Amino acid sequence: MGSGYDPIAGGKGGYASGSIILNKSTNLYVYVGQKAPLTAYSSGEGVIASGGWNGGGYGVMCSAQQGRGGGGATDIRLTAASTSDYSVWNNASSLRTRIIVAAGGGGVGSYGFSGTQGDAGGVNGYSGTDNYSDSQPDGFYGTGGHQTTGGVVGRGWSPHVEGPNYIIPNHLNDGSFGKGGDDRGWAYIHDYGDGGANNRGGSGGGGGWYGGGAAYRGHAGSGGGSSFISGHKGCSGYNNTSNGHTGIGNSSVINGKAYTFSDPKIYDGKGYLWSNVAASSATGTRGFPATTTGSENGHASDGYCRISYIPN
């Protein structure tokens, strides 16, 4: 789950499940996502708000607006990110061997009127929204992650709106493979006639197969990450040898072997099931198993993983 400015909660995480036949010698490495910490803000400019472990993007807080981090994803891989330091998750070779991913939700900020965060996606993540009252043509919100691309960062107004001194900040990031976009800076330059700089904080995107884009300002939400199951219709399998989306159909090929789950199910952060037939959008089926009993429409805490052995 992404973090929000109290009492505004960040985006909710998703759910992925399925069955797969593996050799008994196969090692599985489980990376459980963390809810983005609710970083307290008291004063100062450019105070970094951490994202949740395993892909949550960073947000930034300042005097005018505050942003929070995105939630981390939960995944299972065939290669460890590190065999000596278990705090490491972002090893590129390891990320390419993920076979199932439940995405994290995007973060959201504060500016008196906050936009909504993007919830974790099924095949595609949800975008944030921007509730700024000024009807300008360009958005400050981040978009959701997809199957082959990360969500796009909100870049806000264009130079013709804010004046000739306006710059697009270079501290903002789109989502990427396994990582939500970051907003690690806080100043932008504009020209309303005073030539001053204003301090604005934005939120980080949710982690996932591909992460969601960061939001530029506190009144906008960032995008949620995309989920993935190797073999699920609509998913784009990865080939770690060719280092690209050249798997067999929807299945990933890892070290020359295709991995395909049977009965795969992906639920997004709103609780909707994404069909394994069309998988282009969510269906009316809603609610996935909660950590203990019952069901939930999106997961609002740290991630979890349950593996069960099914005998022949």
The amino acid occupying position 97 is T
Decide if 38 contacts 50 (C-beta within 8 A). Answer: no
- Cβ neighbourhood burial of 214 (10 Å; 0-12, 13-18, 19+): buried
Decide if 33 contacts 53 (C-beta within 8 A). Answer: yes
Beta strand 252-254 pairing with 59-61: unpaired
State pLDDT tens for residues 43-85. Answer: 777 788 889 999 999 988 877 777 889 999 999 999 999 999 9
Top pLDDT among 101 and 202 is at: 101
Per-residue pLDDT at 195: 40
- Cβ neighbourhood burial of 83 (10 Å; 0-12, 13-18, 19+): exposed
Per-residue pLDDT at 199: 59
Beta strand 272-274 pairing with 197-199: unpaired
Q: How many CB atoms within 10 Å of residue 45?
A: 14
State pLDDT tens for residues 122-172. Answer: 999 999 888 765 445 457 889 999 999 999 988 765 443 444 444 445 567
Q: Which among 72, 67, 68 has a CA at the least distance from the CA of 52? A: 72
Map tokens 């105070």 to a residue: 47
Tally of structural domains, the chain: 1
Top pLDDT among 247 and 164 is at: 247
Cα R_g (the chain), whole angstroms: 19
Q: What residues make up the domain containing 281?
A: 1-312
Q: Which of 19-33, 60-74, 187-201 has the lowest mean pLDDT?
A: 187-201
- 247 pLDDT band, cuts 50/70/90, is confident
Q: Which of 71-75, 186-190, 241-245 has the lowest mean pLDDT?
A: 186-190
Which residue blocks in the chain are alpha helix, DSSP H?
92-95, 159-162
Distances (CA, A) of 89 to 54, 83, 96, 99, 219: 6, 11, 12, 15, 30
Strand order in the sheet with 98-102: 29-31, 74-77, 98-102, 228-229
* CA 247 – CA 170 distance, rounded (Å): 34
Q: Which of 129-138, 219-228, 261-270 has the lowest mean pLDDT?
A: 129-138
- 184 pLDDT band, cuts 50/70/90, is confident
What percentage of the chain reaches a pLDDT higher than 70? Answer: 79
